[in-house]
Chains A and B, each alone.
Chain A
């Protein structure tokens, strides 16, 4: 089992739709969780950190479920500009190694 797993997609959604991505992690000792966004041929950029109690930033909501070992990202009212690859990032293992998922590609369609 991979340390961090994501559905690669693509997720094709119409503008205004709500879309959710999940990311599962294998190591229960993982401490820190993040969502990064990567545009085509660009570097990843932090979208949001994932706090234990869940957190929201505008149209974006991140949740952590430690019992089932997954994090989620919810995007409401999708915009064309949300089209990108969303990378799940987890600090895994005893040494807290930074591990990226393969990314989930989102395409918002007019």
Chain B
């Protein structure tokens, strides 16, 4: 099945550094969402984006809905050890036929070195 490509696949960073990750697709989406998954738990929603070009912040997190509607970006500023986990993007769309589509990205595994 279709998956959204996330980059980078994994990253090690020092505490205090800023982090950037992105998600790209060959298809257009109407909604982009970013989730974080901690080990042994389900994903938790971080930010939802509903409009092309939209820039939304949630604390140290900032995400953008790409103008082409085929990509999205997530930035984390001043990372802390509890930022460790897997970050997933997700795209949502409804085709003219009424078919719903909800697809998750391949994930970015973040590890923060204290």
A and B: bona fide binding partners: no
Residues on B lying within 8 angstroms of A by beta carbon are none
Residues on A lying within 8 angstroms of B by beta carbon are none
